[in-house]
Amino acid sequence: MSNNTVFTAQKLVNPLSLTDQSFINEPYQLLAAFRENAPIWWCEANKSWVVSRYNDTQHILRSPDFEKQIQRWKYTPNPAWLQWFPQFKALKETSATWMLNMNPPDHTRVRAVVGRAFAPSTIHALKPEIEKVAHHLLELAKQKEQFDLIADFAFPLPLAIIGLIIGIPVSDADKLKSWSKALVAIIGGNRALPKLYDSGKAVIELRHYLTPMIEDRRKNPQNDLLSVLVQAEEDGTKLSTAELLSNLILLIVAGHETTVNLISNAVLCLLRHPEQLAMFKQKPELAHSVINEVLRYESPVQAAPRLANKDVVLSGQTIKSGDMVWMLLGSANRDEEQFPNADVFDITRTSTHHLSFSEGIHRCIGASLAEAEGAIAITTLFATLPDLKLVSNNIDFQSPFALRGPRKLMVRTK
């Protein structure tokens, strides 16, 4: 079936709203049809633009004509009665002070404080610790005949490392997991009230969880990011108390769920492409190249929003000031104009300037960390368990589509 047939045979639906499992499992044919037929498409139902080509996406990410503070969007559901619920109020307050949602100069100020903890040199020094945690988890997993790669490896590894960086104990992994799940459910523009309520509830619980740790660092500073942020807040000019708390929450959520998906997508891609896996086993030095290709081929974050701050004409469409734009990063990463044979998983690909970490001033602060964790995860995994296999090739991916990764990944050790 050609992309055109798929496109005209269906009523146009925003991929970000689709929950149909067959689309979630295999979204790329529809995304290709969008790129070909409606690369900048106005979605009336969601009152926003959907952008699917590489060049347009990259242009928007780099352009000062598009900004954050998307909570100022005129269609944000914001009836007065929502304020009666502390959950909605908490979510609104917190997300407004996430650096992810800020514009300069506030964004520049907050990012400067947090950024040092994620500089490539700092991450390089963390590698032995990441290797240690990966080995430890695999020693436990390899005793079983089969195990869920996500529950036993891809989930606990980044959680242990972000816990170490921030300075929070990971003994509360289950609680952190459910808070983080509730918060990521609204990524991708899901504005269903029950989802917003659960996210707000998670924010309130996270605040209760983090506040005593912040108070502890005021009295007993340690060598962790929490202490750095507390000192910046006490300085009075670098970080407000609200910004301190909300950006801690952002780091726990943004830094975790995404990396879990990167690791599990990487393992799944390799197990589904045995010739690529064989090449990687022969040349483990390709680990970074594998991770780059996985980020492109199965992008863990599929969408990013911006608000136009002036009228902009892009590829023949007029985007009006105040309009919301959703860029489909995973679609841009499959654009044939940028990546020849874009639907082929090729770990030796050289032209790989993917947009999975976004671009411009909001480019992911944790990119070096995620890449290091991904590369160490697959190297350690296939060195420890060279005969690893999928239990079944029927893998369901998670909803919402905006965050891409398998729900569960059962593997056999022999």
The least CB distance from residue 358 to ligand HEM, in Å, is 3
Residues across the chain: 414
Q: What is the DSSP string of 167-215?
A: T--GGGHHHHHHHHHHHHTTTTS---HHHHHHHHHHHHHHHHHHHHHHH
Side-chain-side CA neighbours of residue 257 (13 Å) = 27
Tell whether residue 259 is a contact of ligand HEM (CB under 6 A). Answer: yes
Residue closer to ligand HEM, measured from CB, 91 or 332:
332
Tell whether residue 100 is a contact of ligand HEM (CB under 6 A). Answer: yes
**Vertex 353, ends 347 and 358: CA angle to 5°?**
120
β-strands 66-67, 317-319: how paired?
unpaired
Q: How far apart are CA 128 and CA 132, in angstroms?
A: 6
List Cα–Cα distances, 56 to 12, 21, 317, in angstroms. Answer: 20, 28, 11
The least CB distance from residue 180 to ligand HEM, in Å, is 12
The least CB distance from residue 189 to ligand HEM, in Å, is 12
Interface positions, 114-173, toward ligand HEM (CB under 6 A): 162
Residue closer to ligand HEM, measured from CB, 331 or 356:
356
Tell whether residue 369 is a contact of ligand HEM (CB under 6 A). Answer: yes
- Count of Cβ atoms closer than 10 Å to residue 275 Cβ: 9
The binder of ligand HEM chosen from 32, 206, 370, 385 (CB under 6 A): 370
Tell whether residue 251 is a contact of ligand HEM (CB under 6 A). Answer: yes
Place of tokens 């160490």: 376
Tell whether residue 250 is a contact of ligand HEM (CB under 6 A). Answer: yes
Tell whether residue 388 is a contact of ligand HEM (CB under 6 A). Answer: no
Exposed, middle or buried by CB within 10 Å (0-12, 13-18, 19+), for 55? middle
Bridge partners for 390 per DSSP: 411
Residue closer to ligand HEM, measured from CB, 5 or 76:
76
Residue closer to ligand HEM, measured from CB, 259 or 338:
259
The binder of ligand HEM chosen from 16, 51, 99, 113 (CB under 6 A): 99
Tell whether residue 225 is a contact of ligand HEM (CB under 6 A). Answer: no
List Cα–Cα distances, 261 to 40, 69, 179, 245, 380, in angstroms. Answer: 28, 26, 17, 25, 17
3-state secondary structure of 326: strand
Tell whether residue 111 is a contact of ligand HEM (CB under 6 A). Answer: yes
Helix-, strand-, coil-residue percentages of the chain, each rounded to 5? 60, 10, 35
Interface positions, 296-315, toward ligand HEM (CB under 6 A): 300-301, 304
The binder of ligand HEM chosen from 357, 382, 397, 401 (CB under 6 A): 357
Q: Which residue is nearest to ligand HEM (CB)?
A: 366
- Are residues 328 and 15 in contact, defined by beta-carbon separation less than 8 angstroms? yes
The residue range among 20-28, 139-147, 247-255, 281-289 that interacts with ligand HEM, by the rule CB under 6 A, is 247-255
- Are residues 159 and 149 in contact, defined by beta-carbon separation less than 8 angstroms? no
The residue range among 28-36, 182-190, 235-243, 350-358 that interacts with ligand HEM, by the rule CB under 6 A, is 350-358
The binder of ligand HEM chosen from 365, 375, 377, 381 (CB under 6 A): 365
Q: How far apart are CA 199 and CA 206, in angstroms?
A: 10
Residue closer to ligand HEM, measured from CB, 255 or 406:
255
The binder of ligand HEM chosen from 14, 199, 227, 356 (CB under 6 A): 356
Residue closer to ligand HEM, measured from CB, 90 or 157:
157
Q: How far apart are CA 368 and CA 30, in angstroms?
A: 31
Interface positions, 174-213, toward ligand HEM (CB under 6 A): none
Tell whether residue 51 is a contact of ligand HEM (CB under 6 A). Answer: no
Q: Which residues contact 212 (CB under 8 A, 6 or more apart)?
A: none
Tell whether residue 54 is a contact of ligand HEM (CB under 6 A). Answer: no
Tell whether residue 325 is a contact of ligand HEM (CB under 6 A). Answer: no
Tell whether residue 332 is a contact of ligand HEM (CB under 6 A). Answer: no
Query: If binding means CB under 6 A, how many residues of this protein chain bind ligand HEM?
Result: 23
The binder of ligand HEM chosen from 255, 330, 405, 406 (CB under 6 A): 255
Tell whether residue 258 is a contact of ligand HEM (CB under 6 A). Answer: yes
- Are residues 2 and 31 in contact, defined by beta-carbon separation less than 8 angstroms? no
Contacts with ligand HEM by CB under 6 A lie at 99-100, 111, 162, 250-251, 254-255, 258-259, 262, 300-301, 304, 356-358, 362, 364-366, 369-370
